Amino acid sequence: MKCRHCGSALRCDFLDLGFAPPSNAYLAAEDLSKPEVYFPLRLKVCEECWLVQTEDYASAESLFSPEYAYFSSASSSWLAHAARYVEMITRRLGLGQQSMVIEVASNDGYLLKNFVAAGIPCLGVEPTDSTAEAAEKLGIPVLREFFGEALGKRLADESKGADLILGNNVYAHVPDINDFTKGIKAALKAGGTVTLEFPHVMRLIEQNQFDTVYHEHFSYLSLFTVGKIFESAGLRVFDVEELPTHGGSLRVYGCHADDPRQTTDAVTTLLAEEETRGLRSSAVYADFQVKAEKVKNDALAFLIEAKRAGKTVAAYGAAAKGNTLLNFAGVKPDLVPFVCDAAAAKQNKFMPGSHIPILHPDVISERRPDYVLILPWNIATEVRQQLATLAEQGTKFVTAVPDLKIQ
């Protein structure tokens, strides 16, 4: 396999999670008696551009099907994050009724609805029918296509170039990251701005976030690598922010390479920190496998010990990261009999691989388990607040990443 960005041979192994089904391929009851497709789940590191990437096995079409069940609006904290972004970027760029905003992977309209409310023209690009339909019901125009250079050029040719192109948690999801970035270049007006948010691979390593690895995440990104990819497409990163979302993310601000805006000190400072932490050295990637296995083993030991003690454990949040943990650990319904999730699209379905049933959040309050394993640890505070009544009745909350915690 060659590097998806620079084409160099990939010789450095980072992580091997065995075989797993796609993390968002939730199952209906009738699917439980049918064969389930598993793909190898392994990461490699390019020692030229330092792009961390999955091995090539699963296609985007097989992962992001019309039934794709991730709805951004299910998290109240994420909705608040999106609203704050729209307020900030509108003010920073002076966006108004004459502007054009394009969101790539606009999902269910969780963010663009704020631009619609402000009277700022916008367009969503979202290939999955279920989420695109939800956005259209909010009055958001949506193109149901995968984004790339061809679509970017078409938008520009149709005078639909953007003053702002944004993408939240999509850059890591695209199999052809070069084509995607060239699409941004093509659709971005002169003087326009692109912002992309994605989990920072530095935090993944630092906090043992191996469960953020799944087939839908083709890339695991550093600022250094994103700068290289932008540069190859005729773009430039001129600013960066570190965010707490998803366990530690970056928001990069980009522009055309010849844009007069100066590159900020924040970019220089973070690039230096990445180098200091060894992100451009094979050594930092070499021992991550052992750390991931410890997290997995500790979580599995807790579940087995709880069962032996006659305690009940339920899970909350049918998140992709939860599927990675459960499948790597080989957890089945005998250890975790059900998981609750607020997303109606996931309820009454089953987790891929583990076949744990997904139920309405009310069930967890009715059954009052001894422990609640919070799978999306990045919103653990939000979940604990939602289930505060359970805590008052003696239920304890458990997170497995970056290490096992029982509260």
pLDDT above 90 as % of the chain: 90
Alpha carbons 103 and 112: distance in angstroms, whole number: 7
Structure tokens given for 46: 């390019």
Helix, strand, or coil here: 390? helix
| pLDDT tens figures, 283-298 | 999 989 999 999 999 9
Average pLDDT, the chain: 95
Can you give the pLDDT at residue 92? 98
Average pLDDT over residues 249-265: 98
Confidence label for 72 from pLDDT (cuts 50, 70 and 90) = confident
Residue 71: predicted pLDDT: 77
d(CA 266, CA 263): 8
Total residue length of the chain: 407
Res. 60: pLDDT tops 60: no
**What would the pLDDT profile of 79-108 be if each residue is shown by its tens digit?**
999 999 999 999 999 999 999 999 999 999
How far apart CA 147 and CA 127 sit, in angstroms, is 8
Question: According to the model, what pLDDT value does residue 34 have?
Answer: 96
Q: What was the pLDDT predicted at 67? A: 56
8 A C-beta contact, residue 144 and residue 129: yes
In this prediction, residues 170-186 reach a mean pLDDT of: 97
Q: Give me the pLDDT at residue 75, please.
A: 80
Whether the pLDDT of residue 395 is over 60: the answer is yes
- 399: pLDDT strictly greater than 80: yes
Kindly indicate the confidence band of residue 63, based on its pLDDT and cuts at 50, 70 and 90: low
Angle at 369 between CA 367 and CA 370, to 5 degrees: 155
pLDDT of residue 44: 97
Can you list the positions of beta strands (E) in 132-265? 142-143, 162-168, 188-199, 219-220, 235-243, 249-256
Question: Strands across the sheet with 313-316, in order?
Answer: 358-359, 339-340, 313-316, 371-374, 396-399, 405-406
Order of strands across the sheet that contains 122-125: 142-143, 122-125, 101-104, 162-168, 188-199, 249-256, 235-243
* Domains of the chain and CATH, by start: 72-285 (3.40.50.150), 289-406 (3.40.50.720)
How does pLDDT run across 356-378, given as a tens digit for each residue? 999 999 999 999 999 999 999 99
Give the list of residues 6+ apart from residue 118 with CB closer than 8 angstroms, or none.
86, 90
Report CA Rg, the chain. Answer: 21
- pLDDT at residue 56 tops 80: no
What percent of the chain is predicted at pLDDT more than 70? Answer: 97
CA separation (Å) from 177 to 36, 148, 174, 220? 28, 9, 6, 11
Q: What is the mean pLDDT of residues 116-126?
A: 97
The DSSP secondary structure of 324-370, one letter per residue, reads HHHHHHT--TTT---EE-S-TTTTTSB-TTT--BEE-THHHHHH--S
